[in-house]
Amino acid sequence: MHRLLPFPAAVHPNPHSLRPVAAPGTAAGSSRSKNLIGRSLSPRTAMTGGSMDRLTDDILADIISRVPYKSTCCCKCVSTRWRHLIAHPDHRAKMPQSLVGFFCESDNMARHFINALAQGCPPLVDPSLSFLPKHESIDILDSCNGLLLCCLRDETHTDEILYYVVCNPSTEKWVVVPTTDWSSSAEVYLAFDPAVSSHFHVCELVDCGAWDDDDDDTGIIGDIAAVVIYSSKTGVWSHKADAWSGSSITIPSGAKSVFFRGELHLCAYNNQLIAIDVEENDWKVIPLPASVTVSYDIYLSYGQLHFAQIGFLSELSIWVLEDPSSEIWTLKRNITHFQLFGTEDSAYADDYDVISIHPEDNLIFIVAGHMQTLMSYEMDSMKRRIIRPLGFVSNRVRCIPYVPLFLESLADGH
């Protein structure tokens, strides 16, 4: 539910619109009353005339920046002034942004960027990330609210990570993050919320097979032994001793993550959602709603956690966690494979993955088939749209969703 923001108390009606009103019962008063009965200003007149015209650009931009992305798009239609105000570089950084596309890469295919909603247009960002320091090999590991987490490797030692880079493709700002002894074998994730701070965290999930700790030699290979967290605010890596001791938590390789309310959320085996507090380096388990699945992952849409599950019974289920404190999931959609692919593309039902759910729309993005065709499915209208084939490669193409961030500041960035 969205809360309406009150206008500043200092804003008053246009004084020129105030006229003396004749006493009740007089001809003028009666005529005036008749003219006022049943009349109301249109929304466009109400927003663009009178008091709204008296707002400065900075105040108006601050008000618009507090509404959801879809409402911001509607604001562009109010007037030329509002449209130019929202698009102006001085105010654009404040405005909410949404998913624009995907960085797509695989081991034997050059990285490219695909616009998700504006087909036929040039890529909105440079997929080569040419603004970064010179490097022989670079991979995108994760994205979070406009920032990318990348690793730079030596071409002669592709398994060894030289260092991490956190960058903003929209502003071409970047910062180097040092590696740890476990970087080359850990699952790595980025945690960043520009509404809270310009600082970010990098989280390495180290399993028992890689964790070199004499005090912990009883874990099962694959289980998490430690989470090592880098804070751009302190500039150091840290971990909490024994935080994962005795646990049996395994994260599937390549699992997607959601950073929400200060916690990094990841799906684990045994029907568990793990929530890691990046400030306290503590964690908790939220039970997932389904027990047997082919594929599953976690996403954020409409400000709520969504769980997408591809089951054995020819359907895709979408669940939503409306109240994280209750840990109760609500089934939002059951989508049959026939609804997803119809009869002409029924073969896709045995070979597809959900790669993202739109953050402000009931829109699912899917990669399917041997040509790894990127497509979208609108849950309300039940319409499927082919975006483009990604091409035939030996392994699944990684698609990293990207939401632009126009804030110039990046903690300790270049």
DSSP code per residue over 14-49: -GGG----PPTTSHHHHHHHHHHTT----HHHHHHS
Residue 12 maps to a domain: no
Residue 36 maps to a domain: no
Q: Which residue range(s) make up the domain with 161?
A: 101-402
- In angstroms, rounded to a whole number, what is the distance separating the alpha carbons of residues 226 and 249? 11
Other Cβ atoms within 10 Å of 65 Cβ, number: 15
Residue 129 maps to a domain: yes
Residues 215 and 151 in one domain: yes
Residues 156 and 283 in one domain: yes
Listed residues 95, 111, 141: the one ending a domain: 95
Structure tokens, 347: 């073969």
249 close to 268: Cβ distance less than 8 angstroms? yes
pLDDT at 214: 45
Residues 305 and 387 in one domain: yes
- In angstroms, rounded to a whole number, what is the distance separating the alpha carbons of residues 36 and 20? 14
- In angstroms, rounded to a whole number, what is the distance separating the alpha carbons of residues 108 and 365? 23
pLDDT at 14: 41
Residues 263 and 287 in one domain: yes
Residues of the chain with pLDDT under 50: 1-48, 214, 216
Model confidence pLDDT, tens digit, residues 215-260: 545 556 678 999 999 999 999 999 988 888 878 899 988 899 999 9
Task: Determine the Cα angle at 291 with ends 288 and 296, to 5°.
Answer: 65
**Under 8 Å CB-to-CB from 408, ≥6 apart: which residues?**
93, 171, 173
Place of tokens 């663009």: 48
Other Cβ atoms within 10 Å of 13 Cβ, number: 10
Residues 148 and 184 in one domain: yes
Structure tokens, 273: 């959602």
Residues 62 and 106 in one domain: no
Listed residues 95, 120, 135: the one ending a domain: 95
pLDDT at 134: 79
Listed residues 79, 95, 111: the one ending a domain: 95
Structure tokens, 187: 């699952």
Residues 333 and 239 in one domain: yes
Q: Read off the pTM.
A: 0.77
CATH code at 285? Answer: 2.120.10
Residues 107 and 48 in one domain: no
Residue 188 maps to a domain: yes
Residues 48 and 137 in one domain: no
Give the 3-state secondary structure of residue 414.
Answer: coil
276 close to 203: Cβ distance less than 8 angstroms? yes
CA dist list (Å): 361 to 67, 192, 315: 15, 22, 20
Our count of domains for the chain comes to 2
pLDDT at 24: 42
pLDDT at 236: 95
Residues 111 and 237 in one domain: yes
Residues 171 and 53 in one domain: no
- In angstroms, rounded to a whole number, what is the distance separating the alpha carbons of residues 155 and 394? 21
Residues 46 and 175 in one domain: no
Residue 298 maps to a domain: yes
pLDDT at 46: 43
Model confidence pLDDT, tens digit, residues 116-128: 876 666 677 888 8
Residue 9 maps to a domain: no
Give the residue from 276, 311, 306 showing the smallest Cα distance to 288.
306
Residue 199 maps to a domain: yes
Q: Which residues are paired to 238 by β-bridges?
A: 229
Residue 135 maps to a domain: yes
